[in-house]
Every structure is written in C-alpha cells, then in structure tokens.
Amino acid sequence: MASRVLFQAILPRSTIATATFFAADIAGQVITANNEARASSTGGDGWDISRSFKTAAFGLGIVSWYGFTSSFVLSRFFPVSAAAGITLPTALLQAAAQQALFAPPLTFSFLYASSALIHEDENAFETAKSHMPAVGALAWSFLPWINAIANWGIKTPGLKMMAMNGIAFGWATYLTTVAASPRTSLVATSDKSEFETEFAPN
C-alpha cells in the first residue's frame, strides 16, 4: 500500500520534470544558437537531440525525487490547513526554506552533471562551482517570492500547477544555458593563470 502511494506521488512529478527539462533544454539550445549566430554571423549549430534526452534524464532521475522530498519535508515543518488553505507567511517560509536547503545541492548537481556528462568537461566540478555564486544570487532575487505568490495567490489547482511548472520551465531553461557556457573564472595552470599566460607582456 505504501509503495503504491509513493508510486502515485512520484509518477506525475517524474513525468512533468522529464518533460520540463526536455523542453527547457530545447529552449536553451535555441537561445545559445541565436547568441552564437549574432556573434559570429555564421549561424548556430542544429538541435542536439542527445543533449535534450540527457537533460530530460536528469529531470526524471533527480528532480522528481527532489520535488517529492522537499514537499514532504516542508509540509511537516510548515503544515497547511485543508480548510483555510495556505497563508502567505507559510508560503514564503516554505519557499525560503526550499531555496536555502534543497535548491543549492540540486542546482550544483545539475551544473556538474551537465558539465561532466553532456559537455564532457574534465574540470566539471570547478566549472559548476564557478557558476554557483551568480546562479544562487539570481535565484534568491526572485524565485522564493514568485513561487510563494503563485502558491498562495492562485487558488485553482490546475492554474496553480501551470504557473508553478511555467516558473520551473523558465528556471530550467536558464540553467541549461548556464551549463553550456564557459566557466566564469579562470583556473591557474602551473604558476600562472591562463589569462596571465596568454596576455603576459613579451
């Protein structure tokens, strides 16, 4: 019985997370290709379907369990009355706790997996770490607030799900473009950084 309930809770999340990350990667590739086309005037690369399926696999294997676990844990610490529904303070607390406790390891694991498995970066850990400060700052600037407002302000379950999935799609698209971008900091090679080696005066 318990396994059946767990399966029923995970299956919808898995399906939605898989579809969201698949679509987000396509959108991310379009954005990256357009940026490259404007920069080089030669046109961007075509659709890398294998990359989209790998990104979707992350949604299936990781994000669905993350969503279930975070919702399960937060509902225990911040219970919601079935009669009154969620209040704005509770929604804000849930969103802030989710952003503080659950989002960082999920974001880092995605950036690392993308660098290592999709872009075949030998320094995937350092690459993911270099992206985290900017990604984390952007996430804190709006994600807790917009998630809380959508969770509290939209009363119709179907519309609420659409809104939350739309937010997730937008954020996943951003993450796929970040994961495909170069590292934001240079790594020292021997006694000099790459920048110093390339631009040092003769």
Which pLDDT score, from 0 to 100, does residue 42 have? Answer: 56
Q: What is the pLDDT of residue 40?
A: 66
Confidence bin at 36 (pLDDT 50/70/90): confident
Q: How far is CA 99 from the centre of its chain?
A: 11
**Residue 94 in this model has a pLDDT that exceeds 70:** yes
User: Quick one: tokens of 18?
Assistant: 């898989």
Residue from 140, 116, 139, 138 nearest 128 by CA: 116
Q: Which H or E run includes 34?
A: helix 2-40
Look over the chain and give the mean of its residue pLDDT values, rounded to a whole number: 80
Q: Using alpha carbons, select from 174, 153, 156 the residue that is nearest to residue 28.
A: 174
- Check if the beta carbon of residue 181 is closer than 8 Å to that of residue 135: no
What's the whole-model pTM score?
A: 0.79
State mean pLDDT over 78-92. Answer: 77
Say if residues 34 and 44 touch (Cβ distance below 8 Å).
yes
Q: Say whether pLDDT at 174 is over 90.
A: yes
Instruction: Please list, residue by residue across 4-15, b when 16 or more beta carbons sit within 10 angstroms of its beta carbon and e when fewer do.
Output: eeeeeeeeebbe
C-alpha span between 21 and 170 (Å, rounded): 10
Name the residue with higher pLDDT: 7 or 177: 177
Q: What is the pLDDT of residues 37-82, one digit of tens each?
A: 776 655 556 789 999 999 999 888 777 677 777 777 877 887 776 5
Q: Does 117 have pLDDT greater than 80?
A: yes
pLDDT at residue 188 in the model: 36
Phi, psi of 33 (to 5 degrees): -65, -40
Residue 63's identity, in one-letter code, is V
Tokens of 109: 């694991």
Task: Look at residue 34 in the predicted model and tell me its pLDDT.
Answer: 85
CB 143 within 8 A of CB 99: yes
Residue 175 has pLDDT above 90, yes or no: yes
pLDDT at 125: 94
Each residue of 121-158: pLDDT tens digit? 999 999 999 999 999 999 999 999 999 999 889 988 88
